[in-house]
Amino acid sequence: MIKGIINYSHYLLETAVTAGDTVIDATCGNGHDTTFLAKLVGETGHVYGFDIQDQAIENTKIRLAQSSLTNASIIKDSHSNFIHHIPVDQLTKLGGAIFNLGYLPGSDKSIITRSESTILAIEGILSHLKRNGIVVLVVYYGHEGGTQEKEQLMRYTRQLDQKLFSVLYYGFINQKNNPPFILAIQKRN
């Protein structure tokens, strides 16, 4: 069967990330991806989760506690500042990252991700990503400002050197109301 967007994003991460890796949840949201990543990397790995909203930070901490997961650091800051929060020895084990772009469901829809900080974060993550590591972008763009972010991300990912990175587009083309899609960037050998 064809996988839905969230299931496919998790499948991509499962193929690239291994136990003991460092991973980044660049937009914690309600903590679903953070929890998934914490289970994926196991007790020897670590998740660094970022969000700028108190509600997202609290939701993520609650979800991790409910699952008895302690291998995650949840940080209230922009994902573009990830480098200031992850120790160097953890950066050498960076196996993957996920971004859910748009706004936090059930919250203030005027607080959205922006291409400037997202692309800055992606560039930094790609420079530290280990070989075959992956960055998954789940792009929600059916809101004010979303189309601009989508277009800038498409422009940015298209220009990535194909000798260094493989870039995948995955989305449904027969769904109404601006369905989300995935951009996945894998560092090549």
Q: State yes or no: pLDDT of 184 exceeds 90.
A: yes
Q: pTM to 2 decimals?
A: 0.96
Q: How many CA atoms lie within 13 A of 140 on its CB side?
A: 15
Please name the residues in contact with 108: beta carbons below 8 A apart, sequence gap of 6 or more.
53
Report the DSSP beta bridge partners of residue 143.
none
Ramachandran category for residue 137: left, alpha or beta (phi over 0 → left; psi -120 to 50 → alpha):
beta
pLDDT band at 189 (very low <50, low <70, confident <90, very high): confident
Q: Output the average pLDDT for the chain.
A: 96
Return d(Cα 133, Cα 135) in angstroms, integer.
Answer: 7
Q: What is the mean pLDDT of residues 62-81?
A: 98
Please name the residues in contact with 19: beta carbons below 8 A apart, sequence gap of 6 or more.
40, 41, 42, 44, 45
Residue 102 near residue 141, CB atoms below 8 Å = yes
pLDDT of residue 109: 85
Residue 104 near residue 53, CB atoms below 8 Å = yes
Report the DSSP beta bridge partners of residue 185.
135, 167
Amino acid letter at 40? Answer: L
CATH 3.40.640.10 holds for 5-107+125-187: no
Return d(Cα 166, Cα 18) in angstroms, integer.
Answer: 19
